[in-house]
Structure 1
Amino acid sequence: MSAARTRAQSIIDENAVAVFSKSYCPYCKQSKNLLNDLGAKYFLIELDQDEEGAAIQSALAELSGQTTVPNIYIGQKHIGGNSDLQAKKGELKALLKEVGAA
């Protein structure tokens, strides 16, 4: 397993909520705003500011099949991107509480 894939998997495994983002991405901002509004505790990695960012994004594509950001995991389960997170808005508070991130 590549170092980037190992790192991505560790981030997913060790955090109740993991958000793989890019600092300039408007969809990432929307996801972070929603999580912040709900008071969620989450691990954030800005792939455009990390020296392994491109490799981690490739590793995430292998892990989840998703090539875009944000790439969001809650309770070690792949949620998807911003539209997927926004679609779960109604159940998100309960889901965050369930994984200890509320």
Structure 2
Amino acid sequence: MDKINRLASENGVVIFSKSTCCLCYAVNVLFRELQVMPVVHEIDQDPEGKEMEKAIMRMGINGPVPAVFINGKLIGSTNEVMSLHLSGSLIPMLKPYQALSAS
């Protein structure tokens, strides 16, 4: 869906989420702990949410949310994000989007 691609490419880190999803919350917390402030788009609060959910599923994710995009590219859902993090591959991908620490 064009709307998903447009929203995903407008910001460095975008999470398509549902406001009641605990896995979405966990991924969001992970990014914040890594000093990245993702743009979170709650599809359950979007009038086009059902269509967006179907479009995300067609992209090949097991569940529609969370759907994580970095630099406009679909990374995946919780399993993919956590696997990247555990392997040490996530932080280099997020480097350009990390806030500068005050330390």
**TM-score range relative to shorter protein:** 0.7 to 0.9
CA distance in 2, matches of 1:79, 1:20: 12
Give a deviation string over 1:46-68, Cα, whole Å, max 9, x none.
11111111111112223x22242
> Sequence identity, in percent?
31
1:65 aligns with 2:60: yes
Q: Displacement of 1:88 after TM fit? A: 1.2
Write the distance in 2 (CA, Å) between the matches of 1:81 and 1:8.
15
Q: Secondary structure at the match of 1:20?
A: strand
- In structure 1, what residue type is equivalent to 2:50? A
Listed as ranges, the gaps of 5+ residues in structure 1 are none
Letter of the 1:95 partner, please give it: M
Aligned equivalents of 2:31 and 2:80: distance in 1?
A: 13
- 1:1-102 matches, within 5 Å, as 5-62=1-58, 64-66=59-61, 67-89=63-85, 90-97=88-95, 100-102=96-98
For structure 2, the 5+ residue unaligned runs are: 99-103
Mapped to 1, the partners of 2:4 and 2:27 lie a distance apart of 19
TM-score by length of 1: 0.83
When normalised by structure 2's length, the TM-score is 0.83
Q: CA deviation at 1:91?
A: 2.4
Deviating above 6 A after TM superposition, structure 1's stretches of 4 or more consecutive aligned residues are: none
* Secondary structure, aligned partner of 1:86: helix
Q: Secondary structure at the match of 1:73?
A: strand
